[in-house]
Structure 1
Amino acid sequence: MKAFCLLTVSAVALMSVASAQAQTTDPTPAATVQSDDGATNDEIVVTAERRSTSLQRTGVAATVLTGEDLVRKSVNGVEQLQFATPSLTVNTTGQGNAFNIRGIGKTEQTSAIGVGVVTYRDGVATLPGYFQSEPYYDIASVEVLRGPQGTFAGGNATGGAIFITQKNPDVNSVNGYVMAQYGNYNDIKVQGAINLPISSTLALRVAGNVEHRDTFYTVTGAWTGNPGDRRDYSGRASLLWEPSANFRVLLKGDYNNIEYGGLPASASNIGTAAAPIPNTSDPLVVANNAYLNGRDEFGRVVLNMAYTTDSGIVFRSISGFQRGTTQINYDGDGTAATGTAAVPANEFRDNISEEIWSQEFNIVSPDTGRFTWVIGGYYQSDKIFIPPNGGYYSDLTPNTFTQFDIEIVGTNPKTALAAFGQVGYKLTDSLQVTLGGRWSRSSSANDAVARAYFTGIAAPVAQLVQVDKTVNKKFNGKVAVNWTVDANNFLYAFVATGTKAGGLNGPNLAGLAPLAFAPEDVTDFELGWKGTFMNGRLRTQLGGYYNLFKNFQVNIIDPRSPGLSSLYNVPGETKLYGLEASAQGNFDGFSFDMSMSVSNSELATFYAIDPRAGTPPAACNPTAGPVTARCINLTGREQNYAPKFTFSGGVQYAIRLGDNATLTPRLDFAHIGAVWGTLFQDAARGDRIEDRNILNAQLTLTTGDWSIAGYSTNLTNEHYVGAINGARRLAGAPRQYGVRVSRSF
């Protein structure tokens, strides 16, 4: 019963996910222009502060990848992004993705905790923590901003933000591309886009992506369903209207239907609860005994309108509507146990919908002059729907012919309201100070019921209703000094803050009053240097950060009842600090890029119960303990999913063959250091995720508008654990290889 209550509360707590606050970007893609040999000689720009600015002259830690970079680095979606960006980890657990930047984001694998790294598509924050499996196709750029983005991104960006700009229509010409790919695991992919000028002021762009791939897994046991096969169907239509040089309207609509087969998983440890043994078997060979299936269906409409006055002031409005339904069935314990009183057969199922309306207005001053400013306002309405049988956990014990089921039904409405602004003033031609702030109000409500059933009894044997609401008000900001030393050197220093909203723990079947948990706050102190050399062919970025993290949200055993799990705040200040460095070089046919991070983290004073073994202690105070076999002192421990060292690098050389043809070999390597999946850091129970070393290779022949590439990702075929979710471990992708043919026009 204890395990069932834990999972029940975790499932219900989905309804208390903190709401995200969206950022608007300029309709112009944040990209660079590529030469035929792959060299980049133009400025890389970012849109972190509501205007397009040079990465080398902006006081922000960021990685910017163009659409061409994504293809060259084999970054097809969120999971591959971690192998091209320092300090970033992405842990896919089926329905959701846990992003962490510098150890801040989503460290616990429970839907009760909101995201700390928000993903945006064309200026609108995507559905928070879920529906992240949307493939990357027809992309202009991806910006990964590291550190809190409290002024412009607002709540749920304590770790950073990811801005994805999809390619826009243009009125200049008919253009586009088509691509076909075939690889192992019977991987078939077709994608393309076409840009159609309708008139001198109106243009349409249509793009699509279809992919079918067989499962990576070998699955045994009494499972049924579709274990790990992937089926992607995605489409996008964009309409641009520019009736004058001052007025621009951009309308985009996206649709995605992603079937991912429920993600088979194996147990994180074997043996017994009292004497666990870490599971070191191949994570791609699993034994499950539950129905396995998973599908996300979601869409998004974005309307971006901008009017620029003759004096250069921009008035911008961005409106967004998103709706998605996620459905998953998986084996709760990752085993094929036939079912005993001690080891039941567990099945978990979710069928949940979410709907978000958002509206933002901002006014942006011209870039010229000593004084610049941005002001804006934002509102968002976010609602999660859990229908009957939507949130469901089943425990089957065949030898007793008893089944225990838990059903969750309800809604979780949330709102976000914010006003923000930033001013900048040049004290001299080379020295600028900026000051920004954001006031925000967020609310989260639960209107839910949890019901427990036993086989043969029609009515629920237990039922708990929760109708509660919590409201948080916060002010965040940033103070920065930017110094352009000379044409080649730029220095910056800033202090920035960010907040992840608090919320409500869900109802529980033990009759205890659910507790609210407080917002978590981070203060970031940062110094950086950016250098530009050799006429722009070599660019470097170096930065150091020191973060103080207050009220860190963690999912632990409720000290009032060891059979329950609730969300608590870690008192005191958790410390995170480190260094990051990156460089990009382009020299005729030869080009390279590299990035690395070195980091450390120390949890504040905190005691918590490890629920997985032993007799519950009589007491375990979060700030005082006392220490027992299960009440563990976690003070000073590493933050979850915070690798001490990451490195990624790529190198390529374009060999000119004459007649407008080039042959380009490329290698990319990424290392992500080992991390802990829980604060208890018990290797015997499978809490350790070992380091990952991923090598990718491509050989591309380009002639005119045609290209053909042979590719391989994870060339050494490393079988590794990519994520831990409760008692389950999920595998990363094995070696994939194939041929890709494309034509641009």
Structure 2
Amino acid sequence: MMMGPAPLTSVQTLSRRVGAALLIGTILSASPALAQSAPAPAETAAPQADPAPESKDIVVTAQRRRESVQTVAIAVTALSGDALAEKSVMRQGDLQNAAPGLSITKAGLTDSINIRGIGLASGSPQVTNGVSTYLDGVFQPPIASAGQFYDMAGVEVLRGPQGTLSGANSTGGAIYMTTKKPELGKFGGSASIGYGNYNNLNANVALNIPVTDTLAIRFAGLANTRDSYYKDLGTAHAAPDRLSEHDARLQALWKSGGFSALGKVELIERNTGGYAYRPIATTQFSADRAKTAAPWTVDYDTNPSNFERATLTNLELKYQFEGGLTILSRTAYLNKRINNVYDVDGTSLSSGTGVDGSALAQLGQNQFVREREYSQEINIISPDTGRFKYVVGAYGQRNKVNVRINNTTNGAVSLYIEPDTDKELIGLFGQASYQLTDKFQIEAGLRYSHFHVDGSGGVYSPARTLLVPQTGSEGDGRVTGKITLNYKPDANNLIYVFAARGYKNGGINPPGGTFAPETVMDYEAGWKSTLFNRHLRTQIGAFYNDYKNFQEDIINQTSGSSGVTNLANATIKGFEASFQGHVGALSVDGGLSFVDSSLSSFSLINKWLVPSQFSGYPQCTGSNAARCYNYNPDITTSSGGPNLFSPKWTWNIGAQYKIETGHDITVTPRLNYAYVGSQWAYVTYAAATDLINAHGVLNGSIAIDKGDLRFEVYGSNLANSFYVVGQSGKNEFYGAPREYGVRFSTKF
């Protein structure tokens, strides 16, 4: 079914398109669904579904069902709410310390989330992220990064293309974050308060209230403040990376018979005190590094700031028929806004000559970005019993992105950058499995995605003269899918092989230029086992990815802003392994990932050769001679190499020992260590500027439990390692120093 390219004009139009698409899926699936609701005759009864996962089993829901991680043919790391706390995974960025193959690097406005080296390596609103992130089933735009985890049910990190259920923007994988839902007939909740160094004061609370037999509400809130890790030696007396964060979440669940309605409103407000830029060695402003050579010091003459606000709304309607057939609808609206002030050069230098021979100037930037998202998804989910199971559905999403940037030189505006982007994504999908025999199962899925984008706005001189229009349109669509063969020789082992096709939509390189969609074929094999009377669980897999029209972030020569080029090819291959084991009071877990990637050669503008004061200027054409830059001498050819933000090795290991002391008191010490290998941040592959060195982080805690009460002493980065965690322009970011403190929590 082909969808028209005309952009949506309202949420209602979006819903009507999705509803029409769903009607077709309903007609196609109605007969087998109704047949499944009737019991099969005894002599032809289908095999029973796997028993419900035991309480200690790890459960995943990414395939719209509750399944044990050991029975799904997906490379996935699943962490419960308790496991997140045990592994010191306090925020989305900490997930790379617990999930092999995942790297999350700081990039200023957006974090670069990459799985197996695929994800988001650009801050441009024209570029689609290759790792889709979901909160309570709703896709999250990359701006206004996720805050601290609290009142969480769990997180699932899915590796590899998710071209069937997760959609077009998941060529690298998907991350599903799920909060705890209201519970009927149960009054309870939790509370936690903690204090640590850097005046880190953190408190969160959750309260579940059963209003009636059919109605329950759940409130959860978070407040967190912390001083800056950095000392500013400059005149700005800035406090970058300080934190003031407030989050409130209200959910209501109404359930009667087979129908349930779950509504959520979440408000997020975060002030981080600005991004802690420091100039990279050998770049224009690195002469000032002599003042900032000490760890966690900066030298600013502009006071940076960062203020994020987000409103998240979500309505989930579900009806389960008597035979088990379920219809699920999810409607969401998100509004994310961010205001930033940058000290672009990261120094107090404003005169003289830089190490690259160019004149120095005081460079700053004021930035406002707003992204609004409307989405609607409808699923039809078959009963969990029987040989044949399926999910069919439709999805629609529209994003409106508004960017307003003022670049300043020596305190005066030098450039206005004001692009507006309107995106639309429509998808139809279905996935089914059939139990061929007691040991063999086949799964197959297809998805058709249609994408359209319109760009408007422009880049303007200080006199508001149009220098480069930010206009353009692009539309594309692709069929993606997956076919899997599962073999279960016994109840404790699963062996699987599959082939999957992923797709990431194209887009625009204003003014008027476009880039093509990216596609990938993914071939994987895996083995999941439960050994030694359920004392050890393992997950092992290998993969090979073949990319066509691979999208690489570059400087668009015409506009001088971030753009995209398509590479001839790219390949990524590797393997992953993880385990969870326990013997008596000792529990041990870990994960390992090896990724080998290769990009073809291509031409690009070497950003290191462009003086910082000309960043964002368009190419000189004769009509814009006053505000332009000639990029031609700075064009170079990349010889090809590993994909960006793709460490070859990542691994983690953790252990805890539960000591019973009597009087219903237990003491549990735990240590976690995570290693992230070196990775390239730019395709010129110069070690002095482009290489992010490997680092390891050691975290630990000692928890004392008595009933529902817990007292905990914690520490992160115990070795106080100083390491780079990302780049933006010609500046780099650093990881947090050693943090330690105490927490007291209770459940009731």
TM-score range, shorter chain: 0.7 to 0.9
CA contact (8 A) 1:62 1:144 kept: yes
State the match for 2:66 in structure 1.
52
CA contact (8 A) 2:374 2:397 kept: yes
CA contact (8 A) 1:604 1:636 kept: yes
State the match for 1:487 in structure 2.
491
Counterparts of 2:702 and 2:410, CA distance in 1: 52
CA shift at 1:607, angstroms? 3.2
Counterparts of 1:634 and 1:693, CA distance in 2: 30
Match of 1:735 among 720, 735, 738: 738
Counterparts of 2:555 and 2:149, CA distance in 1: 39
Counterparts of 1:61 and 1:153, CA distance in 2: 14
Matches within 5 A, 1:328-343: 328-339=340-351, 342-343=359-360
CA shift at 1:606, angstroms? 2.3
State the match for 1:452 in structure 2.
461
Match of 2:102 among 73, 88, 98: 88
CA contact (8 A) 1:570 1:605 kept: no
CA contact (8 A) 1:583 1:595 kept: yes
State the match for 2:668 in structure 1.
664
For the residue of structure 1 that corresponds to 2:253, the secondary structure is strand
Q: Which amino acid aligns with 1:473?
A: G
Matches within 5 A, 1:679-698: 679-684=683-688, 686-698=689-701
Counterparts of 1:130 and 1:183, CA distance in 2: 28
State the match for 1:536 in structure 2.
534
For the residue of structure 2 that corresponds to 1:612, the secondary structure is helix
1:148 aligns with 2:158: no
State the match for 1:400 in structure 2.
none
Counterparts of 1:645 and 1:692, CA distance in 2: 11
1:647-704 superposed Cα distances (whole Å, 9 cap, x missing partner): 11110000001121100000000000011111111122x2111111100010010011
Counterparts of 1:525 and 1:629, CA distance in 2: 42
For the residue of structure 1 that corresponds to 2:410, the secondary structure is strand
Counterparts of 2:647 and 2:291, CA distance in 1: 21
Paired positions, count:
677
1:325-356 superposed Cα distances (whole Å, 9 cap, x missing partner): 11111111222212457112111221121111
| TM-score normalized with structure 1 length | 0.87
State the match for 1:11 in structure 2.
none
Matches within 5 A, 1:126-165: 126=140, 128-165=141-178
CA shift at 1:550, angstroms? 1.7
The 1:578–1:445 alpha-carbon spacing in structure 2 relative to 1, beyond 3 Å, is same
Counterparts of 2:386 and 2:642, CA distance in 1: 46
CA contact (8 A) 1:119 1:161 kept: yes
CA shift at 1:571, angstroms? 2.9
CA shift at 1:557, angstroms? 4.1
State the match for 2:718 in structure 1.
715
Match of 2:307 among 295, 317, 329: 295
1:192-215 superposed Cα distances (whole Å, 9 cap, x missing partner): 101111111111111111000000
The 1:629–1:674 alpha-carbon spacing in structure 2 relative to 1, beyond 3 Å, is farther
For the residue of structure 2 that corresponds to 1:171, the secondary structure is coil
CA contact (8 A) 1:148 1:157 kept: yes
RMSD: 2.6
CA shift at 1:382, angstroms? 1.1
State the match for 1:516 in structure 2.
514
Q: Which amino acid aligns with 1:381?
A: R
1:418-445 superposed Cα distances (whole Å, 9 cap, x missing partner): 1000121111111111110110111111
State the match for 1:407 in structure 2.
416
Q: Which stretch has the larger CA shift, 74-83 or 694-703? A: 74-83
The 1:483–1:220 alpha-carbon spacing in structure 2 relative to 1, beyond 3 Å, is same
State the match for 1:66 in structure 2.
80
The 1:656–1:414 alpha-carbon spacing in structure 2 relative to 1, beyond 3 Å, is same
1:251-271 superposed Cα distances (whole Å, 9 cap, x missing partner): 111111011111121101236
1:253 aligns with 2:265: yes
1:365 aligns with 2:378: no
For the residue of structure 1 that corresponds to 2:95, the secondary structure is helix
For the residue of structure 1 that corresponds to 2:684, the secondary structure is coil
State the match for 1:353 in structure 2.
370
State the match for 1:701 in structure 2.
704
Percent of aligned pairs with the same amino acid: 34
Q: Which amino acid aligns with 2:583?
A: F
Counterparts of 1:328 and 1:274, CA distance in 2: 23
For the residue of structure 1 that corresponds to 2:533, the secondary structure is helix
State the match for 1:102 in structure 2.
116
Matches within 5 A, 1:489-504: 489-504=493-508
State the match for 1:469 in structure 2.
473
State the match for 1:646 in structure 2.
650
1:309 aligns with 2:321: yes
1:705-737 superposed Cα distances (whole Å, 9 cap, x missing partner): 111000000000001111111101011111100
State the match for 1:239 in structure 2.
252
Counterparts of 2:187 and 2:706, CA distance in 1: 20
Matches within 5 A, 1:536-685: 536-558=534-556, 564-565=560-561, 567-613=563-609, 632-684=636-688
CA shift at 1:391, angstroms? 1.6
For the residue of structure 1 that corresponds to 2:437, the secondary structure is coil
CA shift at 1:547, angstroms? 0.5
CA contact (8 A) 1:41 1:536 kept: no
The 1:271–1:540 alpha-carbon spacing in structure 2 relative to 1, beyond 3 Å, is closer
Match of 1:227 among 229, 240, 255: 240
For the residue of structure 1 that corresponds to 2:608, the secondary structure is coil
The 1:273–1:549 alpha-carbon spacing in structure 2 relative to 1, beyond 3 Å, is farther
CA shift at 1:464, angstroms? 3.5
Counterparts of 1:593 and 1:644, CA distance in 2: 21
State the match for 2:180 in structure 1.
167
Q: Which stretch has the larger CA shift, 581-590 or 548-557? A: 548-557
1:35-87 superposed Cα distances (whole Å, 9 cap, x missing partner): xxxxx853222122222222101100000011101111111111111111101
Counterparts of 1:279 and 1:112, CA distance in 2: 37
CA contact (8 A) 2:515 2:566 kept: no
CA contact (8 A) 1:324 1:353 kept: yes
Counterparts of 1:635 and 1:278, CA distance in 2: 33
The 1:225–1:235 alpha-carbon spacing in structure 2 relative to 1, beyond 3 Å, is same
For the residue of structure 2 that corresponds to 1:320, the secondary structure is strand
Q: Which amino acid aligns with 1:537?
A: H
The 1:676–1:301 alpha-carbon spacing in structure 2 relative to 1, beyond 3 Å, is same
CA shift at 1:365, angstroms? 0.7
CA contact (8 A) 2:444 2:481 kept: yes
For the residue of structure 2 that corresponds to 1:70, the secondary structure is helix
CA shift at 1:534, angstroms? 2.6
Q: Which amino acid aligns with 1:638?
A: P
Q: Which has the higher contact order (CA 8 A, sep 6+)?
A: 1
CA shift at 1:283, angstroms? 5.1
CA contact (8 A) 2:653 2:672 kept: yes
For the residue of structure 1 that corresponds to 2:70, the secondary structure is helix
The 1:278–1:437 alpha-carbon spacing in structure 2 relative to 1, beyond 3 Å, is farther
CA contact (8 A) 1:269 1:276 kept: no
* Unaligned runs of at least 5 residues, structure 2: 1-13, 19-50, 353-357, 615-631
State the match for 2:451 in structure 1.
442
For the residue of structure 2 that corresponds to 1:535, the secondary structure is coil
CA contact (8 A) 2:421 2:455 kept: yes
1:218-267 superposed Cα distances (whole Å, 9 cap, x missing partner): 112233655221000001111111112x1111111111101111112110
1:319 aligns with 2:352: no
State the match for 1:28 in structure 2.
none
| TM-score normalized with structure 2 length | 0.86
CA contact (8 A) 1:300 1:322 kept: yes
Q: Which amino acid aligns with 1:258?
A: R
CA contact (8 A) 1:266 1:283 kept: no
CA shift at 1:291, angstroms? 2.8
